[in-house]
Amino acid sequence: MMARVVGAGKRRGQPLSAAAIEMIAGRFRILGEPLRVRIIQELETGEKTVSQLVEAVGSTQPNVSKHLRLMQEAGIIGRRQEGNLVYCYVSDESVLRLCDAVCTSLGERLSRDAKVAAELNRGMARRR
């Protein structure tokens, strides 16, 4: 199977190098952790302090800080310091678009599944 470039503005059918594929997989690995997705969701509305994120996601400060560091190293999250406070923000807006695309796709799939389930339930009700 050969990977292909997909997405708006990209030429389809262009093979990707092994290095490019690894970079893409690395980005998905970073986003594959539920706590990181929750952190991104919190930062979607604007920057927040680490303390605000800890409270919002219901985790510990060391755990949130570890995930923030990993996302910062991946170029997804940025940070700035103001006195004793560290503010975090989404530095790569494409991550928000990716999350929106995934949510839209899942919503459409669940909607189709719900329609099929309703149809099956109607069929079962007629047999009773």
pLDDT under 50: residue ranges of the chain:
1-5, 8-9
Question: Strand order in 48-49's β-sheet?
Answer: 48-49, 85-90, 77-82
Closest to 48 (Cα-Cα) out of 82, 16, 13, 93: 82
Question: What pLDDT, on a 0 to 100 scale, did the predictor assign at position 3?
Answer: 43
Question: What pLDDT, on a 0 to 100 scale, did the predictor assign at position 120?
Answer: 85
